[in-house]
A and B are shown apart, each in its own frame.
Chain A
Amino acid sequence: MRKNKEVFKGLQRLIIPQIVMLIFILILVVVLTGIPQNFNISSYNGVTTSNMTFGEVKASILNNFKILFNGEAFSTMIQGETAWELLIRTSKKSMTILLFGTLLSLLIGIPKGILDSRKSNTSGTVKLLQSLIPLSLPDVFTIGLMQFLAMYLYTNSIKIFGIGLLPFMGDETIYHSIYPIMAISILPAAYISRITAQTIEEGFSKPYILAARGKGCSRRDIIINHLFKSILFNILSGFTMIIGIIFSSLIIIERLFSFRGLGFYLLYFYTTDLIDPYEAGVGFTLFIVSLAIVYYSILVIVNVLKDTVIPMKENG
């Protein structure tokens, strides 16, 4: 009973700051997205003027809060469907990419990291470059390269994975999500691979790993029985960075691959002239708020997992 109370208190300590931070960010987002899109400040001959009064901007921001709280934002019609329906439909698409992209990056990153950690010092530079090159290149470039590859394969009728030609744009079928999933997993996989390799390399210098080797453990035994928790802990610790990479890539990927998910619509609302500015503003606010909530929820789950599920209290 007492232990449960302690766990609950621990969770409170972990979650409450995150919720406060989320509320602060959401307020900031709603304020920023509440500023009318045609609001402009200009300066001429040292005189600064704006096309709207402070009262008008304030009213627009307050209205943004109001429509969110009274639910009007959700029922606003955007291109023939309510904002809520659009949000749900696009969320499903984006979540597919996010979820499978993350899984794929783990599936590629961890084994790659294990293999990397095996290499001798002579190939250390090559090993480092394999992870550092994708991490140091701009994400839009890496994703662009992926799309070029997809286009090349498609235009040259090259079939992969034994499932025929894969479309390189659009979102009509499940096959359309394969390239976006692959594209979104590249950077996180490089990052995870680096973390994994580093954890193993550091782990092998620990006295308890020497003791495990002394018991007759093979390298495989050591990684599975003695280092896997550390690997998972370090990956979870690095997940703040990984989630950041994944979410920023999501917008670029959905735009480049014309995959109409949350990220695609975020840019669309901001740039299109085909939707009424008010409806676009409502949609933009709703979508960015939803993304922020999803982002923070994942962050909280990861942090709770890291600090509670995996016992990492050394000699304490």
Chain B
Amino acid sequence: MDRGDVMAILEVKNLKTYFDINNTLYPAVDDISFSLEKGETLAIIGESGSGKSVTALSIMGLVNEPGKIIQGEIIFESKDLLQLKERELQNIRGNKISMIYQDPMMTLNPFNKVGDQIEEALLIHKKADKKTSKKAAIGLIKAVGISEAENRYSHFPNQFSGGMRQRLMIAMAIACNPQILIADEPTTALDVTIQSEILELIKDLKHKNNMSIILNTHDLGVVAEMADSVIVMYCGKIMEKSSIKNIFDNPLNPYTISLMNCIPRIDDRKKKLKSIEGYVPHPTDYGIGCRFFDRCDKVMEICKLEMPELIEKNPDHFVRCFLYT
């Protein structure tokens, strides 16, 4: 996708989401900016704790205490979502921006029929009557590939497998034909055999409904298959962002390179899979320097003392590393 041709449907500017623990603020998302174009699939990748989910929840306005957004703008339809009242945000959630969550086993209400849960968004946003919304819900169940939809409408979540529940979550998310779908690790909790089915389903629906997608994942295979552009996050900071081609063909940040090296290759006969040494630091342990320095194989003295800026190294290819300043 040529990013110059289309207008951004969503713009995130200098977003800071911090966690307030005992009156001390710890950054979960630290001054990130990006934009999402219409019809684009933007993948946000990074290890657990990199801030992907908090970014998604910040866009949805669903950050729970002790988390709070302390700075930034999230522009959607010329409005800053962070300035909207809760009531106005409710009109956008599930209607214009929807979200698919990580764990389908936990995100469907076990006490309500799945049909009721799918049609809920229609009843709220489209003011549909019960009969129309039921018909639409059955249509959605069919659309996500679940057979005997009329019968399944009245079933409870415990009567479905994990993959089917994720399909139902997708049905819930697309009920109002949203402009943006945020998929927060939609395949992480699923069996490998189900993962590709779910990704195919999301892809199909994206094309049918002309949606934009923000896809959070730590699976680079998923990124390669789905994304148009990529943001690499680490400890709440954007380390690199560019098109899918640039990221895979010419990764610049040592963290991105390390992630790429972790992908198992069919032609690589080494017995041991590669991994990045060390652990993602806890937000309470972030220092003043680059947050990746203690795991980086190209670390320099300056990395421990200062946080590098995110610079545009090549056209539409941004990187945060002292190697390029």
- A and B co-occur in one complex: yes
Which A residues lie within 8 Å of B132 (CB)?
Answer: none
Chain B residues within 8 Å of A221, by CB: 120, 124
Do B101 and A211 have beta carbons less than 8 Å apart?
A: yes
Known: A311-B111, A315-B157. A215 touches B124 (CB 8 A): yes
Query: In angstroms, how far is the closest chain A Cβ from the Cβ of B146?
Result: 18
With A and B bound together, what is the CA distance between A313 and B112 in angstroms?
11
Stretch in A50-58, A65-73, A131-139, A222-230 with 4+ CB within 8 Å of B: A222-230
Task: Find residues 84-118 in chain B having any chain A CB closer than 8 Å to their own CB.
Answer: 87, 90-95, 98-99, 101, 103, 105-112, 116
Assess whether A212 is in contact with B124, with CB atoms less than 8 Å apart: no
Q: Is B13 an interface residue (CB 8 A)?
A: no
CB neighbours of B172 from chain A (8 A) = 211, 215
Question: Contact between B93 and A213 (Cβ–Cβ < 8 Å)?
Answer: yes
Contact: B91 with A214, CB < 8 Å? no
Whether A230 and B107, one on each chain, are in contact in the complex, defined by CB atoms closer than 8 angstroms, is: no
Judged by a CB distance under 8 angstroms, whether A217 is at the interface is: yes
Within 8 A of A (CB), among B41-95: 60, 62, 64, 87, 90-95
Q: Which residues of B contact A207 (CB under 8 A)?
A: 101, 103, 106-107
With A211-B172, A215-B94: A315-B112 Cβ-Cβ less than 8 Å: no
For residue B142, CB closer than 8 A to chain A, the reply is: no
Q: Which residues of A contact B111 (CB under 8 A)?
A: 226, 229-230, 310-312, 314
Q: Flag whether A46 is at the interface (Cβ < 8 A).
A: no
* Contact indicator A211/B90 (Cβ below 8 Å): no
> Is the Cβ of A225 less than 8 Å from the Cβ of B107?
no
Q: Decide if B3 is an interface residue (CB 8 Å cutoff).
A: no
Whether B125 lies near A216 (C-beta < 8 A) is: yes
Q: Is B156 an interface residue (CB 8 A)?
A: yes
Q: Is B158's beta carbon under 8 Å from chain A?
A: yes
Q: Are A210 and B107 in contact (CB under 8 A)?
A: yes
A311 CA to B90 CA in the complex, in Å? 29
Complex: how many Å from CA A225 to CA B115? 13
- Considering only CB atoms, which chain B residue lies closest to A211 in the complex? B107
B190 to chain A: closest CB distance in Å?
15
CA separation between A207 and B157, bound complex, in Å? Answer: 14
Does B121 belong to the interface (CB within 8 Å)? yes
Q: B215 an interface residue at 8 Å Cβ cutoff?
A: no
- On chain A, the residues within 8 Å of B105 by CB distance are 315
* Chain B residue nearest to A314 in the complex (CB): B110
Q: What A residues does B91 contact at CB under 8 A?
A: 216
B97 to A: closest C-beta gap in Å: 9
Q: Judge if B223 is at the interface, Cβ distance under 8 Å.
A: no
Q: A207-B103, A208-B108, A226-B109 in contact; A215/B121 too (CB < 8 A)? A: yes
User: A interface vs B, CB < 8 Å?
Assistant: 205-218, 221, 225-226, 229-230, 310-316
> Which residues of B does A touch, CB under 8 Å?
60, 62, 64, 87, 90-95, 98-99, 101, 103, 105-112, 116, 120-121, 124-125, 156-158, 169, 172, 175
Besides A215-B172, A229-B111, A312-B110, 15 new A-B residue pairs in contact (Cβ under 8 A), listed by A number: A207-B107, A210-B101, A210-B107, A211-B169, A211-B172, A212-B120, A213-B62, A214-B94, A214-B98, A218-B90, A225-B112, A225-B116, A226-B111, A313-B110, A315-B105
